[in-house]
């Protein structure tokens, strides 16, 4: 069964989700930029200095507010992440654009991604299966009241 775009409806358990995800990559996979290392530290330092200056000009200093450094650091990180997320979202590339840029005419990138998806899906399933034996105890508070009632309905 497919939707109006020709894409599959709900997946059955017998379908290979990895293959389906790879098939959907041209529409759903987006490559985004990510700033790392010194760039993150540099922008965070900028915002830390900016916030400290702005708060100081409003009369909030380490002398008047001894815990202000934690507040400043937390907000500097939030502003840094806001800026980098905004830039990343405004510069996205689809898989076919990346393949064209790389000169990947044989779709090796898609094969590599398929391998990674398959491996991580199997690892996630294995991890969940290992936790199933303890789930009844963990979920006991979520049981319906009727299942906890003694025989005879009371």
Please tell me whether residue 92 adopts helix, strand or coil conformation. Answer: strand
**DSSP helix/strand/coil, 131:** helix
- Give the position of tokens 């840094």: 80
Residue 8's pLDDT band (boundaries 50, 70, 90)?
Answer: very low
Arithmetic mean of pLDDT over the chain: 87
Contacts of 37 (CB under 8 A, 6+ apart): none
Predicted TM-score (pTM) of this structure? 0.62
* Span 74-97, average pLDDT: 94
Say if residue 121's pLDDT is above 60: yes
Report the Cα 15 to chain-centroid distance in Å.
25
Q: Which of 54, 43, 52, 85 is nearest to 71 (CA)?
A: 52
Give percent of the chain with pLDDT exceeding 70.
85
């Amino acid at each position: 069964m497919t939707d109006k775009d020709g894409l599959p409806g709900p997946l059955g358990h017998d379908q290979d989700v990895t293959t389906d995800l790879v098939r959907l990559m041209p529409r759903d996979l987006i490559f985004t930029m990510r700033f790392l290392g010194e760039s993150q530290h540099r922008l965070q330092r900028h915002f830390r200095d900016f916030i400290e200056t702005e708060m100081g000009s409003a009369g909030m200093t380490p002398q008047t507010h001894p815990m202000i450094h934690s507040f400043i650091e937390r907000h500097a990180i939030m502003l840094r992440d806001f800026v980098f997320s905004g830039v990343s979202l405004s510069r996205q590339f689809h898989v076919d654009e990346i393949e064209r840029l790389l000169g990947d005419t044989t779709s090796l990138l898609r094969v590599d991604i398929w391998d990674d998806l398959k491996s991580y899906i199997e690892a996630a399933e294995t991890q969940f299966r290992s936790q199933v034996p303890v789930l009844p105890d963990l979920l006991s508070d979520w049981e319906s009241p009727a299942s906890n009632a003694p025989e005879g309905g009371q």
